[in-house]
Amino acid sequence: MEPVESAIDAWRAAWIEACNDYGARKLNSERSLQAALYFHLRSRLEVISSEYRIFIEAAVDVPAVPADPDRDAQPARVIAIDTLVCLGREVLLAVEIKYTPRTFPSVEALKKDLTSLDQIRNRARRDQRVTIELRRHRDTEAGDPMPLKISPDAKMLLGIFCSNARQVDLVEFWDECRPRNAGHWDKSFREQLPPKLGLCIAYAPDPCGAAAPARPVFHGRPFANSPEDHIASRFSGVVGPAFDHEDLLVALAAGDKTLQAASGAGPDAATAARAAMVAAAQQRHPGDRVVSVLALVQCSTAEGVLANVKAATSELRAGYGDAHLVAGGNVHELQPTGVTVALWVRVAI
């Protein structure tokens, strides 16, 4: 898996974990959200490589370059980015977040964040470097700059915790919030969002007297190629049209976290992961009778994955008749034996 794709998958999982943290009353501010995301993100990326770096509230010195051939040069400036995810000294992700679970961020605040992300995006197309300051690092002089290169494949992410009462319409969102006179993003896009921009939303539940996780939703091309999306698109037709993708992602995150803690597969790990996924599914659907099943299989090809999914869903359909069946999967690389697939199936009776 490419570094940017690995970073995107790790960020997506971290965002889902943060939504669960909200339900557990572990978040109280935007900085609290930043800390939670840092923890979950680092926990995943360090398994892949110790060379990943995560900088929070990074002061980025952006050099002056033309944003667009038809525009004047943008002035040099220092911008604050909530989170930078780097591999070595190459920036893979630049992230801005807003935490307003009882309402929705102002248009001006979102426009400011998108303008900052656009400034970073503009440098990915040129052989240029930006610098960040390690202001409080013991081994450096005050304000010592650290040069970074923006990966040409880097992605920009905007994360928003907001009230469930305000559902985001992408066309309206981009029309209101896109940066004006700020370069490539000052226009409409056929896909509603720019190709390098991903939008993560956490819909905080309406007050109901009981804590519940926020509902994670992901928009934009950066999230279009995740393993969950790939597998879901391959067999969603097999299990029927009522495929609740976000329910799946939350349950998969719970099961995946348990598997990682168990350091591998096996009967004990599978049992623990199944219990975690049952708990996650029931937490999101407290009023339903829910059955969750985790199947661990090893396949060497995507066709093998699909065959296992079809076999599992057919078996469950035979056992539950016309019950409402929803299924999904999560792919993990496992060398040299192939691929481990965590298959989650929910049967609501």
- Whether cis (ω within 30° of 0) applies to the bond prior to 336 is yes
Give pLDDT tens digits for 269-280: 666 766 776 677
Crossing angle, helix 30-48 and helix 3-23, to 10 degrees? 140
262/272 Cα distance (integer angstroms): 9
Element (H, E) at 155: strand 145-163
Highest mean pLDDT among 5-14, 55-64, 67-76, 282-291: 5-14
Give pLDDT tens digits for 221-241: 898 754 443 333 333 322 222
Q: Which of 54-58, 125-129, 278-282, 303-307 has the lowest mean pLDDT?
A: 303-307
264 and 132 in a common domain? no
Residues of the chain above pLDDT 90, percent: 26
255 and 156 in a common domain? no
314 versus 11: the higher-pLDDT residue is 11
For the entire predicted model, the pTM comes to: 0.64
Instruction: Give the residue ranges of DSSP H helices in 30-95.
Output: 30-48
269 and 252 in a common domain? yes
Q: Give Cα separations from 316 to 12, 213, 344 (angstroms).
A: 29, 28, 12
Q: Residue with structure tokens 């370069």?
A: 183
Task: Name the residue range of residue 67's domain.
Answer: 3-222
197 and 48 in a common domain? yes
Beta bridge partners, 324, equal: 348
66 versus 115: the higher-pLDDT residue is 115
pLDDT at 103: 93
Long-range contacts of the stretch 168-171 (C-beta < 8 A, 24+) = 168/199, 168/201, 168/217, 168/219, 170/199, 170/219
Q: Which of 19-23, 279-283, 297-301, 334-338 has the lowest mean pLDDT?
A: 334-338
- Look at residues 244, 118, 233, 248 and name the one whose alpha carbon lies nearest to residue 183: 118
- Mean pLDDT estimate for the chain: 71
243 and 210 in a common domain? no
239 and 178 in a common domain? no
Q: Last residue of a domain, which of 222, 240, 272?
A: 222
259 and 191 in a common domain? no
pLDDT at 349 over 50: no
Q: Give Cα separations from 175 to 150, 163, 253, 276, 277 (angstroms).
A: 27, 20, 33, 41, 39
Average pLDDT of span 97-122: 93
Q: Last residue of a domain, which of 169, 200, 222?
A: 222
99 and 51 in a common domain? yes
Q: Last residue of a domain, which of 171, 192, 222?
A: 222
216 versus 188: the higher-pLDDT residue is 216
pLDDT at 223: 85
pLDDT at 345: 44
14/126 Cα distance (integer angstroms): 30
Counted domains in the chain: 2
pLDDT at 258: 73
Average pLDDT of span 96-120: 93
pLDDT at 281: 63
pLDDT at 291: 44
pLDDT at 143 over 60: no
138 and 256 in a common domain? no
203/163 Cα distance (integer angstroms): 6
Q: Which of 44-58, 81-95, 177-191, 316-330 has the lowest mean pLDDT?
A: 316-330
86 and 206 in a common domain? yes
252 and 191 in a common domain? no
41 pLDDT band, cuts 50/70/90, is very high
167 and 22 in a common domain? yes
pLDDT at 112 over 70: yes
27 pLDDT band, cuts 50/70/90, is very high
pLDDT at 307: 57
Angle made by CA atoms 202, 273, 287, in degrees to the nearest 5:
55
- Reduced DSSP (H G I as helix, E B as strand, rest coil) percent helix, strand, coil of the chain, to 5: 40, 30, 30
110 pLDDT band, cuts 50/70/90, is very high
